[in-house]
Amino acid sequence: MPQTNRVIVPLDVPNLTEAIALLDKLPQVNFWKVGLELFVSTGPDILTILKEREKRIFLDLKFHDIPNTIAGACGSATQYGVDLLTLHTTAGRNALKAATKAISDTPSPPKLLAITLLTSLNSRELAFDLKIPLELPEYTLQMAMLAQECGINGAVCSPQEVSQLRRVCGDDFLLVCPGIRPSWSDQGDQRRVMTPSEAMQAGADYLVIGRPITMANDPVAAWGKICEELETVS
What positions carry a catalytic annotation?
62
Q: Which of 3, 10, 59, 222 binds ligand C5P (CB under 6 A)?
A: 10
From first CA to last CA, the distance across the chain in angstroms is 12
Closest CB 105 distance from ligand C5P, rounded Å: 29
153 lies in the site for ligand C5P, by CB under 6 A: no
Q: Which of 4, 12, 39, 90 binds ligand C5P (CB under 6 A)?
A: 12
CB 116 within 8 A of CB 88: no
Picking from 135, 138, 85, the residue whose alpha carbon sits closest to that of residue 115 is 85
Picking from 138, 171, 62, 146, the residue whose alpha carbon sits closest to that of residue 96 is 146
Binding mask 24-63 for ligand C5P (x = CB under 6 A): -----------x----------------------------
CB 21 within 8 A of CB 44: no
Closest CB 102 distance from ligand C5P, rounded Å: 23
User: What are the distances in angstroms from CA 79 to CA 19, 75, 109, 153?
Assistant: 21, 7, 9, 19
For ligand C5P, the closer of residues 100 and 158 by Cβ is 158
Closest CB 208 distance from ligand C5P, rounded Å: 4
Residues that bind ligand C5P (CB under 6 A): 10, 12, 35, 119, 156, 178-179, 190, 208-211
